[in-house]
Chain A
Amino acid sequence: MCSLLRGEEMCLAQLFLQSGSAYDCINELGELGLVEFRDLNPGVNAFQRKHVNEIKKCEEMERILGKDILIFNIHMCYHHNYYCSYVHYHWVYVCVCSQEQLQRLEVELGEVTRNKEKLQRNLLELTEYTHMLRTTRNFVQRTSEVSYEEFPFLEKDTLMDYSSMQRLGAKLGFISGLIQRTKIEAFERMLWRVCKGYTILSYAEVEEYLEDPDTGEPTKSVVFLISYWGDQIGQKVKKICDCYHCHLYPYPSSNEERTDVVEGLRTRIQDLHTVLHRTDDYLKQVLMKASESVYTWVIQVKKMKAIYFILNLCSFDVTNKCLIAEVWCPVNDIPTLRRALEEGSRKSGATVPSFVNRIPTNDTPPTLIRTNKFTSGFQNIVDAYGVGNYREVNPAPFTIITFPFLFAVMFGDLGHGVIMALFALWMVLYENNRKLKNTRNEIWNTFFEGRYIILMMGLFSIYTGLIYNDCFSKSLNIFGSGWSVKAMFEAKVWKDADIRGNRVLTLDPNVTGVFRGPYPLGIDPIWNLASNRLTFLNSYKMKMSVILGVIHMSFGVILSTYNYLHFRKKHSLYLVFLPELLFLLCLFGYLVFMIFYKWLVFTAKDSRLAPSILIHFINMFLMQGDGVQPLYPGQTGLQVFLVVIAVLSVPVLLLGKPVYLYWLHNGSHRLGMYRGYERVRRNSEEELYLMRAHDMEEGSSHSDLSTSGERQTEEFDFADEFLHQAIHTIEYCLGCVSNTASYLRLWALSLAHAQLSEVLWTMVMRVGLRMDTSLGVFFLVPVFGLFAVLTVSILLVMEGLSAFLHALRLHWVEFQNKFYSGTGVKFCPFSFSLLPSSFEHDGLL
C-alpha cells in the first residue's frame, strides 16, 4: 500500500530451479518482469561463466540477422545478396528452431539458387562468345588485306579452309578466346618465347566490362586469336592458355558457320535472360515471405541471450541438480512469482516443481515505486536527482502539483498557457499513435515522455495567467475595473487643462469613487495602462515569492517527520525536526506574517505612513526597535522572543542528536550493568531479552532490513556523528537564508516573461496594427505570422525551458534538501520488454 508515497516493500527470495525447467521458468519470469536477479558468482569474469558459448552463439546470430534485415531493407534487388541470405537462413535454422517451414524454405531456396547460378554462368559464357566472334571478325577483315606468301588466301571472304590447308601439307590451327586484360602482355611474351614465331597472336580489347563467370566481378577482357602451325605447337599453346586461365571458344571455320553461330547465340541469350528474370521474381517472392518471420526470429534470439545471461548469474546447489537464484522481489508479488514458477515447470514437463523461499537479509533492497503513465513523468524528474532510499518518503506525489504550479508562477501568461496546454493535449490524445511513439528523434521523445507534465504546466499557466491578468501581454477586462477616472473629474481634483498640460497623472485612491473595490480575480486590468505598473507588480511578486518559498520549505521540513516516524527515530523528531521548524518559522515565518499583516492592516489612507517591512526585519536582528514606529503594539517584545528562540534552536540542532545517541550507547552499558543487578535479583531471562530488544529499537532503523545487528557490535563514533550533525546544522541554517532568497527567482522569471511578451507585441504586432495605408491591411498577415513564430520559439520554447529548469532546481535543491537523501538504488526487474536491442540502436527495428 501507499506505493507512490513510500515505495513497495521488498524481500529477498531464493529460487530453487530444477535444471531441466530452469530455462522455461526464467522465460516466464522474463515475460512478467517481476524480480531482479542478484549475481551469485561475482568473482567469475564473463569468459569463465557457464553459458558463455550459448551467449556467443546468440550474439553471432544477432549479427547475422542484423545483416539480413539490412539486406532486405536496402538491397532487395541484388541477386548476389540473395545467395548470402540463403546461407544465413541455414545458420538460423540450425541454431534457433527446427520448424518445418524453415526446412522447406531452405531446400527450395537452395535448389533455386543453384539453378540460377548455373544459368548465370551460361549467360556469361555466351556473352563472351558473342563478343569474341564479333571482335575476331574484325581481325580477319583486317588481316585479309595482307597476304602471306606461303598461305595465300584463296578468296577474299573465305577463311582458312582446312581442306586447302591440308593440300598445302601444313596444319594451320586457330585458337580463340578471352583473357583478362592484365594478363595479355605476359601471355604474349610467353607465347613468343615458347613457340618461337610459329604462332601469330592478334588481340583486341572488348570495350564493355564483362562479368567474369567464376568470380562475378566486372573485368576488362581481351579477345585474342592465335594462329599456329603444327600439332605440337598447338599442344603447347593450349597448355599456355590453360595456365593463364583463358576462356577458349571454338573458332568458326567459315563465314556461314560464323553467322549461324551468332544467330544461335543471340536466341539462346534471349532465352536465358527470360529464364533468369523469372527466377529472380520467384526468389524475390519466396524471400519476401520469409522476411516476415525474420523479426520474430530476432526477438527469439534476444530473449535467448537474456535468459542465458541470467542463468550465468545462478549457482548450483550441493547436489548439483538444482539451480539456486537469489532475487529481490516485492512482497506483494510473491504469489505471482510462485505461479510463474509453476507455469514454467509445467511447460518444461518437469516432475519436480521449482519453488521460491523467502530469506531474511541485512542488505538494503532496491527501491520500487509503481507508477502509471501520468505519474511516471513526475517520478522520472525526481529520480533524475536521485533515486530514493528504501522506504523513504517519495517527493513525487507532491511534485505533481507543486512543480507545475511553480512553473506557472514563472510563466504566467494566459495565451501562452492555452497554446502549451493544447499542444500537450494533442500529444496526450494521440499517445497511442505508433508514429508518435516510435520516432528516433531524441528531443521529440523527451517532449513526448513529458506530455502529462506539459499538460499540467499549461493548465496551471492558464490559472496564473488569469491571476496576473496577462494574455499575450494584454489584460482582459472580464469583471470591470475597480478604478474610475471619471470620479477624479467629479471630485474636481482634475480639470480639462490638467489633461493637456501633463503627460502623466496619478489616480488617487483616497478620492471617493476612484477606487471602487478590488478586482474579483487577479490584477486589475487598469494596471496595463499605468506607467507605474512595474513598481506595483514587483512589490506584489516579490512578496508572493517569499511567501511561496517559506510555505514550500516548511512543507519539506514537515515531510521529514514521515521519515523519522517510519524509521522509528523518535528522538530525531524532537532533536532535529523541532529546532529546524522553529528556526525557519521564527525568522521567515514571522517575515511572512509581517507581509500579510501589512497587506491587511494598512489601507490606501495610511499609505504615506506604511512601514517598510525590510527595515523592521533588519531591526529585529539588530535589536533596534526605537527608530521606527511599531507595526503593532508589543512588536519589540515579540521580535526579541522570536530571535531568542531561533538562536537557541541552533545549538539544540547542533548538539542534541549526537549527545543523545552517545548517552544511549554508553549509558545503556551502565544501565545494562545496573540491570544485571536486577537480573540477579529477578532472575528472569525473558525480561532481560525484552529490555535488550527495547534498547536495540531505540537506536536502530526498521528492524527487518537494517544493519541493526552490526550497530550493536560496532562502536558508536561520536566524532563522526557530531561532524555529520554540525555540517547538517550549518547547511540548514545558512540554507534557510539563501534558499528563501533563491525563491525570488519566481519573481525574476515572471517579470522577464512579461517584459519579453510586451516587447514582442510592441515591436511586432503593433507595427502591423498601426498600418494606415490601404495596402497596410495585407501587411498584418505576414506580421502576425512572424509574431506567431517568435512567440512559439522565444516565449514558449526558450522561456518555457528556462522556467522548467528553474522550477526543477527549486524542487531539487530548496525543497528536497529539507528531507530527501536520494541515495538509493532503483529496482531493475528482469523483463524482456526492458531489454535494450542492438537493432534499435542501429535503426533497423
Chain B
Amino acid sequence: MRGLICGPKLAACGIVLSTWGVIMLAMLGIFFTTHSAVLIEDVPFTDQDIHQDINPPQRIYALYNQVGYNCFIAAAFYILFGFFSCCQMKLNKRKVSSFFCVAFF
C-alpha cells in the first residue's frame, strides 16, 4: 500500500496527540491574545520593555500577541499532523481488511 508509513498504534497516538495539541495550543493562543496575567512569565519580555516603554503596556501587549500568534501557527501545524495521522489510520484499516479478504480465499 503506497504511502503507509506507520502502523495503527502510532497513527492512533498521532491522532490523540494532534487533537490535544490543537485544543491546548488554540486555547493558549486565545489566552495570550487576551493578555492573561497568569501567563506573564511565558512572554519573552526584557527589562527594557517594562521600564522604558513610551506607552505602557503596549509593548508587553504586542509581545503577548506575538506569542499568541505563534501558538495559533503551531495549532495549525497540529491540524495538518492530525490529518496526516487520520490518513495513515485509514490506510492501515484498508490494509487490514484486504488482508482478511486474501486469507479467506
Report which A residues bind B (CB closer than 8 A). Answer: 419, 472, 474-475, 477, 500, 525, 528-529, 762, 765-766, 769-772, 776-778, 780-781, 784-785, 788
Contact = CB atoms under 8 A, between A and B. Distances in A.
Given A778-B77, A788-B20, A477 B42 contact: no
Given A529-B37, A765-B42, A771 B70 contact: yes
A474 B38 contact: yes
Interface string B31-52: 0000011111111100000010
A788 B17 contact: yes
A784 B38 contact: no
6 contacts: A419-B20, A475-B38, A529-B38, A766-B42, A769-B67, A771-B70
Contact of B38 (A477, A762, A770, A771): A477
Contact of A770 (B21, B42, B71): B42
A777 B73 CA distance: 7
A784 B21 CA distance: 7
Given A477-B36, A529-B38, A785 B67 contact: no
Contacts of A474: 38-39
A529 B24 CA distance: 21
Contacts of B43: 769-770
Contacts of A472: 24
A765 B39 CA distance: 12
A781 B37 contact: no
A771 to B, nearest CB: 7
A75 B43 CA distance: 64
B44 A772 contact: yes
Contacts of A529: 37-38, 40
B25 interface: yes
B74 A781 contact: yes
A831 B50 CA distance: 75
A231 B91 CA distance: 77
Interface string B64-105: 000101110110011000000000000000000000000000
Nearest to B20: A788
A475 B36 CA distance: 10
Smallest CB-CB A-B distances: 10 pairs: A770-B44, A780-B74, A769-B42, A777-B70, A781-B74, A781-B77, A777-B73, A528-B38, A766-B42, A474-B38
B95 to A, nearest CB: 16
Given A772-B44, A784-B25, 11 more contacts: A475-B38, A477-B36, A500-B51, A528-B38, A529-B37, A769-B44, A769-B71, A771-B70, A776-B70, A780-B70, A785-B21
Nearest to B78: A781
A184 to B, nearest CB: 47
Nearest to B66: A772
Contacts of A477: 36-38
B42 A784 contact: no
A772 B63 CA distance: 10
A786 B43 CA distance: 20
A120 B81 CA distance: 58
Nearest to B73: A777
A810 B49 CA distance: 51
Given A500-B51, A769-B67, A784 B74 contact: yes
Contacts of A528: 38
Nearest to A785: B17
A770 B42 CA distance: 6
A769 B70 contact: yes
A776 B71 CA distance: 11
